[in-house]
Amino acid sequence: MRRQSPSQFIFIASLSLVMALVLGLLSGAVNIPPSKLLGLFDLSNTDLDHRILQTIRLPRVLLAALAGACLASCGAVMQGLFRNPLADPSLIGVSSGASVGASCVIFFGGASLVGSGIGLPAIAIGAFVGGLLATSVVYRLATSITGTSVSTMLLAGIAITALAGATTSLFSFFADNEMLRRISLWQMGNLDGADWSRVTTLALVVVPLILILPKEGQALNAMLLGESEARHLGVAVECLKRRLILLTALGVGVAVSVSGIVAFVGLIVPHLVRLLIGPDHRYLIPGSAILGAVLLLLADTAARTLMSPAELPTGVLTALLGAPFFVGLLIQQRQKLMG
Amino acid sequence: MLEARQLSLSLSEFTLLQGIDLQIEAGKVTAILGPNGAGKTSLLRLLTGELLPSSGEIVFNGAQLSQWQPKQLAKMLSVLPQGSQLNFPFTAREVVMMGRIPHATGLVKDTEIVDAALSAVGGSYLDKRFYTQMSGGEKQRVQLARVLAQIWEPDASGDRFLILDEPTSSFDLAHQQLTLEIVRGFARQGVGVLMVIHDLNLAAGCADQLVMLSCGKIAAQGSPETVLTTAMIKDVFNVDASIGLHPKTGSPLVIV
């Protein structure tokens, strides 16, 4: 397959991102005429359409774009780290780990915490710690001198997901009604709680992350050759691994804490970008971030409009699209191994 | 100079290497020989800093190997491991370009070096081909070009060394010869070369110094004539061989 030039791809993807943002702003339970976008940032506009745009739609599309960019770039980094194109935060248990961390905080923090201003950051920290533990465990189990074992990686993912499921069930069992509702809504992966405080929390983590990660691109490329090869190319491998595990756990943890488990974005997007512009992480990471934002925006817009005025959980939609894609990838890999 | 002094390595109570004294000089080719499991790859991994010795020390260009900054070391020491795990669709050019990661010489210079390294291994035609779709021999040539590109030019901080673990294992006759010519060419430029090689005759034809490993110890060390004797081959490999002379080069020829 012929490759596209990275700069051309990033240009086209950025254009699509703008279009997806506009589309997401305009469509929903109430369709808003495009002319209303003009006064979007003018807070003195108090008619209904502008209020919908400012307090509901804008945070929602920004949240979708940020979460998509975060999950996709973290997915790209994880695949490089594991030297395996099938690694994805939701498949290898990082998202589940993060969700356990977050449920822990909700459960033990109780209503006092959730109502107050520190609620969201506290949940985000819980999710980060959970995600970090999960990534470290999977990484330790699955990688050895000879590389990463996919089967161990996926099995570790199953184990962590099962453990996470059990823990969450336990919390649900002891939780009161209000807490139960909070925990279970979250697991579906939903962006419908979008508000400005969530957007800010996510942006504070995601924007620096997207700026930092591509700087590790060259070192990640070397990692794909093998750990010892990377070391001989002057990469401080242990340090790099620790840093990347920390950063991706942070990214996934925060994304999970504001949007629940949105599966497969981290798998599909880097794969598509790699097909289009090649595996060089210096372009793969920013490319994935932009395309991830576009994809999750479109998925979320579809989730809001398909059964309008009711909303499908976004995570359900991405899983419906992602699972067949993943099976397709597995079949392709199998054929590669056999032939 | 890359020097090993009284190196020993034990992993989980097994002694893999014992009392290894070795000097790899700049501008010379040294070949490590020995039966499977003699500790050849372990020795390379000690000498490249990938494993730490249980005792003994390694001195690289005047300082302890472990005291060099990884980035600085990578400008002088380039290592070709056995086999490769790369399963992402990079092009040959992109793989060879990774050899330039430790350097900050700019894209123009790096492109020149990558062109030259690819052409040196007879792989110019592979340029835009995907690594994942190449044959074993082609992959090995691309990897060889990568480690050559890494130390293509002299570095201010010290002598360059090239360490190769079975560089010819998946090559046909022509590419085996080409590899050995490349290795000799680098040695002429002052690069110290250390390689593990299984074919005794290839080693004898190319190396200045042979090191015969047996059960984790050095059984013999020196010029090909002194190391490759019928007694030594019987002793180390338990094979009865005759030693002839190469009709053109005069180096020893092991005939089994």
Residue-level pLDDT at B144: 95
Residue-level pLDDT at A339: 45
Pull the structure tokens for residue B24.
């790899």
One-letter amino acid at A181 equals R
Chain A residues near residue B110 by CB distance under 8 angstroms: none
Q: Give the mean pLDDT of B188-210.
A: 92
> What percent of chain A stands above pLDDT 90?
31
Residue-level pLDDT at A163: 85
Q: Give the mean pLDDT of A161-175.
A: 82
Mean pLDDT comparison of A44-48, A142-146, A285-289, B242-246, highest-scoring range: A285-289
Any B CB within 8 A of A175 CB: no
Q: Give the mean pLDDT of A126-131.
A: 86
pTM (predicted TM-score): 0.87
Task: Say which range, A26-30, B55-59, B164-168, has the weakest mean pLDDT.
Answer: A26-30
Nearest to A231 among B50, B90, B99 (CB): B50
Which residues partner with A334 through β-bridges? none
Q: How far is A156 from chain B (nearest CA, A)?
A: 22
Nearest to B86 among A225, A233, A235 (CB): A225
Mutate to test the interface with A, among B50, B101, B105 (most CBs of A within 10 A): B101
Degrees to nearest 5, angle at CA A283 with A278 and A285:
105
Closest chain A CA to residue B132: A336
A124 pLDDT more than 70? yes
Closest chain B CA to residue A85: B88
More confidently predicted of A88 and A67: A67
Q: Do A233 and B150 touch (CB under 8 A)?
A: yes
**Residue B7 and residue B46 in contact, taking contact as beta carbons nearer than 8 Å:** yes
Helix axis angle for A281-305 and A314-338, nearest 10°, is 140
Neighbours of A20 (CB within 10 A): 22
Q: How far apart are CA B166 and CA B3, in angstroms?
A: 21
Q: Give the mean pLDDT of B232-238.
A: 91
pLDDT per residue over A304-324, tens digit each? Answer: 898 877 888 888 888 888 888
Q: Do A231 and B70 touch (CB under 8 A)?
A: yes
Q: How far apart are CA A243 and CA A216, in angstroms?
A: 10
pLDDT per residue over A169-220, tens digit each? Answer: 888 788 777 777 767 766 666 787 778 888 998 999 999 999 999 999 999 9
Nearest to B90 among A146, A147, A279 (CB): A279
A153 pLDDT more than 80? no
Closest chain A CA to residue B163: A232
Chain A residues near residue B84 by CB distance under 8 angstroms: 225-226, 229
Residue-level pLDDT at B208: 93
Q: Do A226 and B85 touch (CB under 8 A)?
A: yes
For chain A, helix, strand, coil in percent to 5 are 80, 0, 20
Q: How far apart are CA B239 and CA B236, in angstroms?
A: 8
Closest CA to A239 of B103, B70, B5: B70
pLDDT per residue over B137-166, tens digit each? Answer: 999 999 999 999 999 999 888 999 999 999
